[in-house]
Structure 1
Amino acid sequence: MSVPEAGGVFHRARGRTLDAFPSEEEKEWKGPFYFIQGADPQFGLMKAWSSRDPDHGGDEWGQEIRLTEQAVQAINKLNPKPRFFVLCGDLVHAMPGTPWRKEQTEDLQRVLRQVDREIPLVLVSGNHDVGNVPTAQTIAEFRQTWGDDYFSFWAGGVLFLVLNSQFLFDASQCPALKQAQDQWLDEQLGLAAQRRCRHAVVFQHIPLFLQSIDEDDDYFNLTTAVRKELADKLAGAGVKAVFSGHYHRNAGGTYRDLDMVVSSAIGCQLGQDTHGLRVVVVTAEKIVHRYYSLDELSERGIDSDLLDLMKET
């Protein structure tokens, strides 16, 4: 169940990198740019949630198809184009080995093939993509279907790191895979710490925290011990921001100089936020972001003050 490459539209991460961005060309800062972050299209959750059976695979996902198509159409209309579109996990709702997973996956792939060929896709694994307790088999399935579950790439002088946060949640069935990611991350953060990049940014599904580094443990965050160790490691290496999903609501906070950004879902909302996407502008000195409803982004595009940031030299 692999993703058709449709004339080069879809660049799967392989070899722990993304070939849509040749690293030697992209390591140099050439001025401000922006990207789009989305999370949790999660085909099937809206039916499962409305049925009061959120662990069920969901036998209908027409609403999610329409919302994700609206997101893709809004992104395709943007001018200038974003450097990439990152989806921070829970691509589909059906867990590995459960009914409707194949159908949900194929429908999402069909929608994502409509993304403008000049806008690379960056895909992040979520708990529904690899399982709450991932195994070597579920990770292998994700890699075959969507590409590497963790990798890095350079874009516009910025180092982007994509993590499999499920290894940080429960790696009891695949400790060797978690150890491999840990070692790889330490190597990547070594590059960031040497200040060879303008900024370093992390994408993962589960947030480090929702509001505060000291908050209680919850289904929607990483445990206190894990979050503090990772946050210190990221902040110490100079990482500017972590972008995640999973919460199906907007949230976030700061720790040291690290911005923890939690974006609500393209699909099912669990709070009062709207189905939406986040626009992230990267300048020489800062990273500025704003969440838009799909209707806002479709109808009026990006606000002028964000566009003005990209005119800075």
Structure 2
Amino acid sequence: MAERQEVFLRARDRTFTAFSADDESQWKGPFYFIQGADPQFGLMKAWSVGDPDKGGDEWDQEIRLTEEAVQAVNKLNPKPKFFVLCGDLVHAMPGEKWREGQEQDLKNTLKKIDQGIPMVFVSGNHDIGNTPTPETIAAYCRSWGDDYFSFWVGGVFFLVLNSQLFFDFSKCPELKEAHDKWLNEQLAIAKQKWCKHAIVFQHIPLFLKNVNEDHDYFNIERSLRQDLLERFNKAGIKAVFSGHYHRNAGGSHNGLDMVVSSAIGCQLGEDTHGLRAVIVTAEKIIHKYYSLTELNNQGIEKELMDLIKQK
């Protein structure tokens, strides 16, 4: 069991040990990965009873949906390079009653993923708290790996950020400072253009539809948003993938795509439970959201998969 659990502890020392930078820093041709978000075990019950903050003592529906997601990913041929979950792995906040059970059930479900498909985990507000502390972040890191890190795959540079430090760092200012220093260093690497593309994963979107939209619970505060966008643009970041909204959304700004994916679990809009396939070619990044049923029954359509075969 300990050996299997190590699958979820690969982000260490600010890198992702499933991939070697020495082996993966050069472009090797098109590839794809799968992005999911918000399995959030417990939210569907909490939402149905009208108590999203405190409810959530059942999560059988989320287990079933996450099993569907795992089955769909395991069927894909060729295999995706990795499967990234963009936060809110479980619903119970740190220290709450059902937290341990939700985390264990999620791990048990995700352990069924093909061992050749690494899992990449991104921290969300329910994973480390709306106002994270050194203790809640440390607990997350023990369960799922580092809360922020970078890695290379096939000549593409990926940054995994802790977006809750953008939202409220009042109880962990030193950790926010360390995150900012690290991010500046990573953006400097991306700016040197050694990578074919640079891509960011974070839980909270920079914006949902328009770069000038008002700040609310589901996006980054406007002044910080503008600062991050400017820094990302200067570094050549091509896309930011996130979750949090439980609906599909997104837009573009100065060549940067903001991609907001709906949830594996509870839907707050009209979208279906699903996953996003992301195809990376030499020229561009193409993505499409699939319902779990579509992906399980039909897979990714041939036109997109053919892009991976192009050299």
- TM-score category (smaller protein): over 0.9
Q: Name the residue aligned to 1:218.
A: 216
Q: Per the alignment, in what secondary structure is the counterpart of residue 240 of structure 1? A: strand
Following the alignment from structure 2 to structure 1, what is the Cα–Cα distance between the partners of residues 204 and 123? Answer: 10
Which residue of structure 2 lines up, in the alignment, with residue 79 of structure 1? 77
**1:260 and 2:258 aligned:** yes
Q: What's the counterpart of residue 34 of structure 1? A: 32
1:52 pairs with one of 45, 50, 53: 50
Output one character per residue of 1:78-135: Cα deviation in whole Å (capped at 9) or x when no partner: 0000000000000000000111000000000001111100000000000000000000
Letter in 2 for 1:71: A
1:103 maps onto 2:98 in alignment? no
Kindly indicate whether residue 92 of structure 2 is the aligned counterpart of residue 94 of structure 1: yes
User: Identity of counterpart residues, as a percentage?
Assistant: 67
1:18 counterpart residue number:
16
How far residue 218 of structure 1 moved from its aligned partner, in angstroms, is 1.0
Instruction: Provide structure 2 residue ranges, at least 5 long, that are not aligned to the other structure.
Output: none
C-alpha separation in 1, matches of 2:88 and 2:4 = 23
In structure 2, what is the Cα distance between the partners aligned to 1:8 and 1:280? Answer: 26
* Change over 3 Å in CA distance of 1:21–1:50 after alignment to 2: same
Query: Is 1:155 paired with 2:153?
Result: yes
Shift of 1:7: 8.1
Matches within 5 A, 1:1-313: 4-6=2-4, 9-313=7-311
Residue type of the alignment partner of 1:205: H
Amino acid at match of 1:263: S
TM-score, length of structure 2 as denominator length: 0.98
Task: State the alpha-carbon separation in 2 of the partners of residues 262 and 256 from structure 1.
Answer: 17
Deviation at 1:4, TM superposition (A): 4.0
Query: Which amino acid is 2:241 matched to?
Result: F
Tell me if the contact between 1:9 and 1:118 (Cα under 8 Å) persists in the aligned partners: no
For 1:266 and 1:6, the matched residues in 2 are separated by 23
Partner SS for 2:61: helix
Rounded to whole Å, the distance in 1 between the matches of 2:115 and 2:25 is 22
- Taking the aligned partners of 2:208 and 2:103, their CA distance within structure 1 comes to 28
Distance in 2 (alpha carbons) for counterparts of 1:179 and 1:128: 22
Give the CA RMSD over aligned residues. Answer: 1.1
Q: For the Cα contact (< 8 Å) 1:38–1:265, is it kept in 2?
A: yes
Figure out how many residues of one structure are paired with residues of the other and give that number.
Answer: 311
Determine the C-alpha separation between the residues in 2 that align with 1:228 and 1:244. 17
Q: CA deviation at 1:57?
A: 4.5
Partners of 2:217 and 2:5 lie apart in 1 by: 40
- Contact 1:220 1:246 survives alignment (8 Å): yes
CA–CA distance in 2 between the matches of 1:10 and 1:24?
22
Q: Distance in 2 between matches of 1:261 and 1:13?
A: 23
Distance (whole Å) between structure 2 residues aligned to residue 4 and residue 251 of structure 1: 38
CA contact (8 A) 1:9 1:116 kept: no
Letter in 1 for 2:38: D
Displacement after TM superposition at 1:9 (Å): 4.1
1:82 partner amino acid: P
CA contact (8 A) 2:8 2:143 kept: no
Secondary structure, in 3 states, of the residue corresponding to 2:16? coil
- 1 CA distance for matches of 2:207 and 2:125? 16
| 1:7–1:263 distance in 2 versus 1, CA, 3 Å | closer
Which amino acid in structure 1 is aligned with residue 116 of structure 2? E
SS in 2 for 1:310: helix
**Displacement over 6 Å in runs of 4+:** none
Query: Is the Cα contact below 8 Å between 2:9 and 2:144 reproduced in 1?
Result: no
Contact 2:252 2:258 in 1 (8 A): yes
Distance in 2 (CA, whole Å) between partners of 1:11 and 1:183 is 24
Q: Contact between 2:34 and 2:83, CA under 8 Å: does it hold in 1?
A: yes
CA contact (8 A) 1:57 1:100 kept: no
Secondary structure in 2 matching 1:65? helix
Give the Cα–Cα distance (whole angstroms) in 2 for the partners of residues 8 and 63 of structure 1. 26
Evaluate the alpha carbon distance shift between residue 25 and residue 57 of structure 1 in structure 2; reply closer, same or farther with a 3 A threshold: farther
